[in-house]
Chains A and B, each alone.
Chain A
Amino acid sequence: MEKRVTFRGWLLPMLLIAPQVVISAVFFFYPAGQAIWQSLFIPDPFGLSSQYVGLGNFEYLLGDRFYRASFVTTAVFSILVTLCSMIPALFLAVMADRLIKGSGVYRTMLIWPYAVAPAIAGVLWLFMFNTRVGVVSWYLGTLGYDWNHVLNGGEAMGLVVVASSWGRISYNFLFFFAALQAVPRSVIEAAAIDGARFWRRFWTIVLPLLSPTTFFLLVVNVVYAFFETFGVIHTITSGGPQQSTTILVYKVFSDGFVGQDLGSSSAQSVILLFVVGVLTIVQFKFVEKRVHY
């Protein structure tokens, strides 16, 4: 059942969508257009001169084996961050939902990490895992494990994933918790009377009813992993060791703002724009089909 509101005339509907159009134009279409335009040039940092190179920036990037490897790194990183931030959040939300007493306290405590800025979260985790003075690496050392994320790419990836997911668990928890509260008690009670145990009820009733929220969080978390994690990566690994934690957006930042190579940086933004566009279309086309609203 769709409800449609019809307007008489054009003025009012235009006025109503104008703010959104203006915001999109100023903060999305204009900068995106600029990025596409700049990606065709190699400018000098000061904007004094620039060389038209056509698709030269793209050729240079796609010919670079480290840039191609960065796609794989980004995929691994995004999948891990999405899983590590959604699964624990769902688990915690289900547990908090079952609480009868004190759920307010748990909720508040679980939401706290979201208030920590990514770069600060990065420093906190870095400090715990510091190879010489970190508490966790010291503990691992007593267990006989030599933690060294400055040289070991796998450990570095693990650390940035955990640091990026940590604060995000709170955000996801909030949404899952609200969604769980909205699951009709009567359905669950009926299943319970039929003899379905907790996990059975969870798999067959609760999880399907949560699917709109899960889908929303999936999209939002993938976007988060793609774009908002570079503060964490910058503070913990700066993309190293040997580029094993250089995700696409971090490379945009480091080439553009550390290396002053604005041409390459713009071309990377355009590629990223394209990748995320495709990814979102895929998510809405295929994953959303499995969502029951």
Chain B
Amino acid sequence: MKKSIFGALAVSTMLSPVAAMAETEVQFWHAFTGRLGELVKAQVEDFNASQSEYTVVESHKGNYSETLNAGIAAFRAGEQPHILMVFEVGTATMMAAAGAVRPVFEVMAQSGATFDPDAYIGSVKGYYTSTNGDMLSLPFNSSTPVLWVNRDAMAAAGVDPDTDLSTWQNVGAALDALKAGGEECPLVTAWQSWIHLENLSAYHDVPFASKDNGFAGLDTEMMLNGEAQVAHLAAMGQWAKDGKFIYTGRRNEGGANFRAGDCALFTESSAGYAGIKSEAKFDFDVRPLPYWEGVGNSPQNTIIGGASLWVMEGHEEAEYKGVGEFLSFLSSSDVQAQWHQDTGYLPITTAAGEATRASGFYDANPGTDVAVIQMTTNEPTANSKGLRLGSFDQIRGIIDEELEGIWSGDKTAQEAMDSAKERGDALLRRFEAANR
């Protein structure tokens, strides 16, 4: 059954668009549709127009998971693209595939393109860098969670919209006031595991998994059942029980509720900016993600979500030169600054961030720099550099299930996280066995 699906994928790969053969062709598979898809296409067209030696051919391969699967299936069939977009969750899978990927620092060195790893923002780069400090994939789109506030809903419930919401203690008090003021949906979230466990851990400088969150070895174990995490989830569980936190689903379903003006507070990626700005018919604010005052080393820094570009093995050397040129074009300051301003994703280089500030964009669009500040104020620690866990897509599924157990009141926070650790560790051991 599986082979035939790989076969079908291989056939569809061969049918992907083929450009003029005179120039060296570079295949680029990504996961963006809609507005983001158009922006990627524009970047590729700009690169193709800027020189005549290489042609980059972009193709959309479905959502993040599907794109990764398409890339893996194509590699098995010997039809892999040069550049594959992989979401942050797939990082450990790609890193472990030593014969399938060519690290970006090597590609850059061989192509002779200008490349300075220090130009990239530390907390973005750190996620995709080996323990030796070598950059393995090129950060492409990165975002970090922030708190979105519906100021009109706050005012309607009789809560001052300018209330300090920097700590969860304050948010808790605000939720009480919102509920008392008749607000039916005081708090909603997107990507619960990413925001309320992975980022929570980094933000309070407590480990999410052993071995530096998996950076230092495959023999890592989940540590998400620690005191800080359980205390936070217990508080969230209580809010869910009291009708102050409304659970809408595992992905970003809550975004629809917030954009429609149904909810007062929303924890979501900074990249939610474009959607909220275009749809919200109310006055909104972007605030830093709240932290628990007095817990761990808070506020440390938050970590990123998003995707990076991996270069795959098995092509002609001349083509890798083109890959290097294209990646270097993508990380140039102008391209990055434009991308950051268009999408709400973080600028991946310090220079792009500075160029954006100098252009007055942050003054014209208040709050767009909250995420940048949140990411860059402190130097990342071993607990806040990022996560590198195998089978992480599945582990997130397990975490989602256990969190649902807390929200529905079936389990206490401690029970749920102990169970998540046990089940997650089983998957980590399998991943370790597969990549021994």
Give the interface of A toward B (CB within 8 A). Answer: 27, 30-31, 34-35, 38, 42-51, 53, 60, 64, 66, 131-133, 150-152, 238-243, 254-266, 269
Contacts and interface: CB of A to CB of B under 8 A. Distances in A.
A46 B72 contact: yes
Interface in B213-239: none
Contacts of B434: 42-45, 50-51, 261, 263
B69 A48 contact: no
Best-buried of A53, A150, A259, A262 by chain B (most CB within 10 Å)? A259
A30 B433 CA distance: 27
Contact of A132 (B248, B397, B408, B436): B248
Contacts, number: 111
A266 B2 contact: yes
A38 to B, nearest CB: 8
Contact of B430 (A49, A60, A239): A60
B391 A259 contact: yes
Contacts of A53: 433
B404 A150 contact: yes
B433 to A, nearest CB: 5
Nearest to B391: A259
Nearest to B407: A151
Contact of B404 (A151, A255, A269): A151
Contacts of A255: 394
A64 B93 contact: no
Contact of A150 (B72, B248, B410): B248
A31 B394 CA distance: 25
A34 B405 CA distance: 38
B400 interface: yes
Nearest to B1: A31
Contacts of B426: 60, 64
B2 A260 contact: no
B257 interface: yes
B99 A265 contact: no
A132 B410 contact: no
A4 to B, nearest CB: 36
Interface string B87-98: 000000100111
B98 to A, nearest CB: 8
Contact of A258 (B257, B262, B393, B402): B393
A133 B248 CA distance: 11
B399 to A, nearest CB: 11
A174 B249 CA distance: 37
B4 A150 contact: no
B435 interface: yes
Contacts of A38: 2
Contacts of B75: 46-47
Contact of B2 (A35, A44, A60, A239): A35
A238 B76 CA distance: 27
Nearest to B240: A151
A256 to B, nearest CB: 6
Nearest to A44: B434
B4 A27 contact: yes
A48 B99 contact: yes
B410 to A, nearest CB: 7
Interface in B93-142: 93, 96-100
A262 B75 CA distance: 15
B96 A44 contact: yes
B47 interface: no
Given A48-B97, A259-B394, A260-B93, A243 B435 contact: no
A241 B72 contact: no
Contacts of B247: 150-151
B401 A241 contact: yes
B250 interface: yes
Contacts of A262: 2
B401 A242 contact: yes
Given A44-B434, A257-B69, A263-B434, A240 B401 contact: yes
Given A44-B97, A150-B247, A151-B407, A258 B1 contact: no
